[in-house]
Amino acid sequence: MKKIIYLLLIATVICSLIGCTILSRDSNTNKYIKRKINVDISDCNIIVDNYKKGFFGDGDYFVKANCSNNSENMIKQLSSWKQLPLSENLQLIMYGGKKGNVYYSYDFAKKAGIPEIKNGLYLFIDRHDESKDKYSDKYLFTRSSHNFTIAMYDLDSNILYYYEDDS
């Protein structure tokens, strides 16, 4: 009987943690994006809103928004973003590839459905606890886990891609 009560207690705690994780995300994607990267996408059409977070927040979150109706305002909001192409580290983690003798098989962009953008802007935020500069990807491959946000804006199609990875 004690074992059953103990297992029920553990199950209750686990369900509570999962519930808190799910509820901690803003119910409104526009507000969430505004809070995370300071970009207002309220005039954009959300095409994909895919939240795959699990226990203790590990997982990923992907948003794809068509901002054709508000492209001029979007470009003004992104004035501090970097011009594509991505840095070497970001290219490797998003699309995979080879650096020296090491092959990186990451394919976060492929899994999320983010094409390789030729003409656009991007923002990278390193959210790892050990991050010394949250806008630098220098230490991306020196840790056993990743906690980062990357947003890319395709200037040709006016599509905003927002991706979070937490491992």
Between CA 71 and CA 13 the distance in angstroms is 46
Instruction: Specify burial of residue 59 (Cβ count, 10 A radius: 0-12, 13-18, 19+).
Output: middle
**Residue 20 in this model has a pLDDT that exceeds 90:** no
pLDDT tens-digit readout, 118-154: 999 999 999 998 888 999 999 988 888 889 999 999 9
More confident residue, 88 or 104: 88
Q: Residue 161: enclosing H or E segment and its boundaries?
A: strand 159-166
Among residues 146, 123, 115, the alpha carbon closest in space to that of 74 is found at: 123
Residue by residue, DSSP assigns 30-59 as HHHHHHHH----TTSEEEEEEEEE-GGG-E
Length of the chain: 167
Q: What is the pLDDT of residue 50?
A: 93
Whether this model's pTM surpasses 0.85 = no
Rounded average pLDDT over 156-164: 97
pLDDT tens-digit readout, 38-91: 999 999 999 999 988 777 767 899 999 999 998 999 999 999 999 999 999 999
**Residue 156 in this model has a pLDDT that exceeds 60:** yes
